[in-house]
Structure 1
């Protein structure tokens, strides 16, 4: 689920999309970069922005706002690409901004609410609470579906 130290605390990279703040396991993060022009590829889903060359490695870039249906993204100097290492694959994830690394104890992580079958919330770990902040904690491996990983494998071939 998340990287836990011997004290039981977990570290999450906090990022925003729209008005909401999310968190993902810091262990999955390879690096954080500013958004740069991507090379578009034909016949890919609309959330698949294209690829970038990252020190000789071709990295597919997915816009999470489009993938999750969170409105039309804008790309500016604050737009960030979080480079992830998932199941041996390097994937770029476009988000609006990154704020910090947040440490949460097990008591600060609440279970994800039941939303019924109408909403696929299988990628939610829970909700992290820290003072007045609430982070939507995501399991990035589940969020990047097998179709996304399959697309990455296809591009790498």
Structure 2
């Protein structure tokens, strides 16, 4: 085996294949939709935290939390996407994100899993179904689709 061939084998590609660009995503559910957020933004997941309500804010801004002395706004992602509110359950949790040094929490129905996604498989959302906070989608087998949250847009509107 030549040195060049051995080098390609180590990174998992043959000489005829292009390198695969994968990104790791944390998936969660929101109103029956599977949504992924890049783990590059995820700081932590919290399940039991008291949210302090704020007056005169949009309904999707549920309030703020204090986490290790830092004030973090909490957005109910379901309401932010124009879905109907639901009662919070034992699976409801807050995903704390750091987007360009802006910390924000998103309240989600349930966290599912962390998965690696080949970025070349992510396709744009059809225009007629476009949702401002979704940057793309990928089929995850069967009739299931994972939508990808556009974190930059999330803090733009905030």
TM range (shorter): 0.7 to 0.9
- Aligned equivalent of 2:110: 97
Within-5 A mapping of 1:42-61? 42-61=55-74
**For structure 1, which runs of at least 5 residues remain unmatched after alignment?**
1-5, 149-157
The Cα offsets for residues 50-85 of structure 1, whole Å up to 9 and x where unpaired, read as: 111111111111111111111112212110100000
CA distance in 1: counterparts of 2:126 and 2:105, whole angstroms: 28
| Conservation of the 8 A alpha-carbon contact between 1:24 and 1:138 | yes
Name the larger-Rg structure.
Answer: 2
| Alpha-carbon offset, residue 36 of structure 1 | 2.5
- Aligned equivalent of 1:8: 21
| Conservation of the 8 A alpha-carbon contact between 2:81 and 2:133 | no
CA distance in 2: counterparts of 1:86 and 1:107, whole angstroms: 23
With over 3 angstroms needed to count, the CA separation of the structure-2 counterparts of 1:126 and 1:134, relative to structure 1, is same
- TM-score normalised per structure 2: 0.80
**How much is the aligned-residue C-alpha RMSD, in angstroms?**
1.8
Number of residue-to-residue matches in the alignment: 139
With over 3 angstroms needed to count, the CA separation of the structure-2 counterparts of 1:103 and 1:12, relative to structure 1, is same
- Aligned equivalent of 1:21: 34
- TM-score normalised per structure 1: 0.80
| Alpha-carbon offset, residue 35 of structure 1 | 4.4
